[in-house]
Structure 1
């Protein structure tokens, strides 16, 4: 390693020296045996139907719940939360385009809770070094059985009833109408412009899942806008493709570093329908049933990450977990050279101990699926559905994750194709012993500000490996002025060397670390 001494620094309690050191040494034998340093570990927090969040909390109660929830996830070494902020054409934040969600107050849609749930969740996540992905459902207007009259008077489904389609027991915005597409883009622009989120996230609800013997009633829109298509199915797929492209463009035009990710149903097409599809016999296909051509989004470069919901066991014959991981991995690798995209896997935590497939009654099923993910070089991590299942910890599976797989801190993968510029190092780092542990004060007096810092800690007076994530103490978001971090796990009797790296808005880590020993 090259080292460059840049001076000596006297802290209030000890003598320390600082230096810059490359964090990318020549790889040594056995480096591949290290656990992944960069890995997505996300938890979905579903608000629709109050799945993971109860309604009717005061600001104080909600803030306490957020802090407790994020503390739990942080302790389990999760690094990202995916918070559902637009479950049914509503909002869990003050919006000029959508009414307040009933899932925050438990009262009629449009009722103001008196605080900003998304702002609190975002700030508290960042306070813990965790990313916040804002989860939106674009087309869904109601849940089954809800009437339009139950919606707020300001809901566009009521002010523009011509935009709405009823299918089965639910109402949806018509994906084939240009005015619907424009409205949805405005909602995304408002969300990205007003909040310091790390990503916009969409799940598998595009055109609704098919209902037997019922046709989705969009023929009038097809007749008006689909003249260039012979088949309505191709027109529908194009509607979704265009929305995905336009949302991506809208996000990047508003804040280029904000990511756009989608978590579709786990099967693109079975081989019986397309020889390039997966060797599965799924009863639903993205392409044919939901009109979501997930492969095309990768070809177009209109997403930053894709998280197929592979909610099946490793032994289920019609859709084996590993078969689908391999298929998605190959697809991402095929298009990565032109349009890079991160592949994460959606995990079915909710099935552990409860599903009819007996494989899910083995506490090792989901932990072993993570090992399958890690064995594939294209898979960059996983997202878990959902919070309440992680908390429930059926069969003790989440404890296994915490003790065996998530037993160290991992950094979220970078989207270096967005901007691969190396961030500048901190201007200075001061170390002080405080009652709670060791305090680091990080100053950044540079034109370009990083988004995060990674804090490494080594015992003794020399730095060790920056490639071993077990040396990471924490990840902290840069704050205006002085960024303060307290290492509460430090042993007061030991001597440590700390290395601090900067991380850009697109997740690129600096090639050098600011090192300080005491």
Structure 2
């Protein structure tokens, strides 16, 4: 009963701090220099040192419901939700599919589902900004006749589980998936609009939004905002996909435009730092948008466990972990075992623990249940059936706030059976 009351309070309160934030944003827009170019046309030109250190973050009160139990989340990727290959694509069939996800997750002692709701600048929910995902009907843009996210929220909460909306912020199409983009897809929309053609980039591997433009950052933030505003979710999560390549051709025109502007003030950043600043600007705006809509909804990011890889992707994990106003939680994907020579698990987990210094930023361990019992990493995952169980033990010793497991499909397979059983024993304190 208490949880139900708390949930009602969380869902229907738009607090005074949101009004304060909105006024702050409006005043900022009104007071900007008159000769500034319209933001949707101008590449981001910000300093990493100042971007994201939100004074507005200080007005956000603690969550109404402080987490009192350990996070035990499991990722539910879009493949697990796909209806495109099913003969029956009805709402009843989708509900049956998601009920199985809930049942298995509950049986394996999970308490949170991280569900993929925007994998390719599309939507598993009714959106005014993004077309329906192809995984629902086989055709991008086709209305399935029901609202998957509304159903998933209803069913997860009925099962006393939290649900976080998993979003890929910049990805549009990768390696031919989805096969065809509908006319309303943002890539096609931008290509038809001369003023927004630079918002999207096509590479040999796919199509992406370009975060160098404030208009793109606003689109991403607005997309998250409508999820928080319209659905009974408990959190929003970005995964580890930001810049898809280090190739300078990806954003050459935008970077040159930024340099031309920055040189006048002597504040020019390297391309790497400029990309970090672009992603920081986007992440900061998303955080502010989430809190303006509902300050009790948490926003988190699950970056790669490898620090150097994050740098290449434009993910400024050090900033996110040390400064309030970016995330409520961070969940590094440390998808290696203790014997990995390039990225030993124990040392990596300790390094992430040391990195999180900002107050009220929770730290979760992202663990690779999908590798258990497999030939991955030169067969080292077959040397023991309690690798992940020991990783959970270490996470607790290091005072992590919980765990997230990738992915749902591997909670109940023959390959991972013994490992998952040992993890369950540890979760329940039976070891």
Q: TM-score range, shorter-chain basis?
A: 0.7 to 0.9
Aligned to 1:225: 258
Higher relative strand content: 1
Secondary structure of the residue that 2:101 maps to in structure 1?
Answer: helix
Aligned to 1:349: 369
The total of aligned residue pairs comes to 345
Measured after TM superposition, the shift of residue 115 of structure 1 is: 0.6
**Do the aligned partners of 1:46 and 1:53 also contact (CA within 8 Å) in 2?**
no
Query: Measured at CA, do residues 222 and 197 of structure 1 come closer, stay the same or move farther in structure 2, by a change above 3 Å?
Result: same
Using CA pairs under 8 Å that are at least 6 residues apart, name the structure with larger relative contact order, 1 or 2: 2
Secondary structure of the residue that 1:141 maps to in structure 2?
Answer: strand
Query: Measured at CA, do residues 220 and 374 of structure 1 come closer, stay the same or move farther in structure 2, by a change above 3 Å?
Result: same
Secondary structure of the residue that 1:368 maps to in structure 2?
Answer: helix
Aligned to 1:31: none
Q: List per-residue Cα deviations over 1:246-294 (Å, max 9, x = no partner).
A: 100000011000000000010224xxxxxxxxxxxxxxx211x101111
Measured after TM superposition, the shift of residue 299 of structure 1 is: 2.7
Query: Measured at CA, do residues 120 and 240 of structure 1 come closer, stay the same or move farther in structure 2, by a change above 3 Å?
Result: same
C-alpha distance in 2, partners of 1:209/1:43? 28
The structure with the larger Rg is 1
C-alpha distance in 1, partners of 2:414/2:426? 15
C-alpha distance in 1, partners of 2:176/2:100? 33
| TM-score (norm: length of structure 1) | 0.64
Query: Measured at CA, do residues 391 and 223 of structure 1 come closer, stay the same or move farther in structure 2, by a change above 3 Å?
Result: same
Q: List per-residue Cα deviations over 1:151-191 (Å, max 9, x = no partner).
A: 11111211112121112220000110121111111111111
**Do the aligned partners of 2:72 and 2:404 also contact (CA within 8 Å) in 1?**
yes
Determine whether 1:129 maps to 2:160.
yes
Determine whether 1:190 maps to 2:226.
yes
Q: Could you list the runs of 5+ residues in structure 1 that have no partner in the other structure?
A: 1-35, 270-284, 409-468, 470-518
C-alpha distance in 1, partners of 2:108/2:369? 15
After TM superposition, the structure 1 = structure 2 runs for residues 109-508 of structure 1, keeping only pairs within 5 Å, are 109-146=140-177, 150-161=180-191, 162=197, 163-210=199-246, 214-226=247-259, 227-228=261-262, 229-269=268-308, 285-287=309-311, 289-301=312-324, 302-332=326-356, 335-336=357-358, 339-354=359-374, 355-361=376-382, 362-377=384-399, 379-395=400-416, 396-402=418-424, 404-407=425-428
Q: Could you list the runs of 5+ residues in structure 2 that have no partner in the other structure?
A: 1-66, 192-196, 263-267
Aligned to 1:431: none
Secondary structure of the residue that 1:115 maps to in structure 2?
Answer: coil
Secondary structure of the residue that 2:401 maps to in structure 1?
Answer: strand
C-alpha distance in 1, partners of 2:281/2:130? 22
C-alpha distance in 1, partners of 2:97/2:234? 21
Q: List per-residue Cα deviations over 1:114-158 (Å, max 9, x = no partner).
A: 11111111111101111000000010000213589x211111211
| TM-score (norm: length of structure 2) | 0.77
Q: CA RMSD in A?
A: 1.9
**Do the aligned partners of 1:167 and 1:216 also contact (CA within 8 Å) in 2?**
no
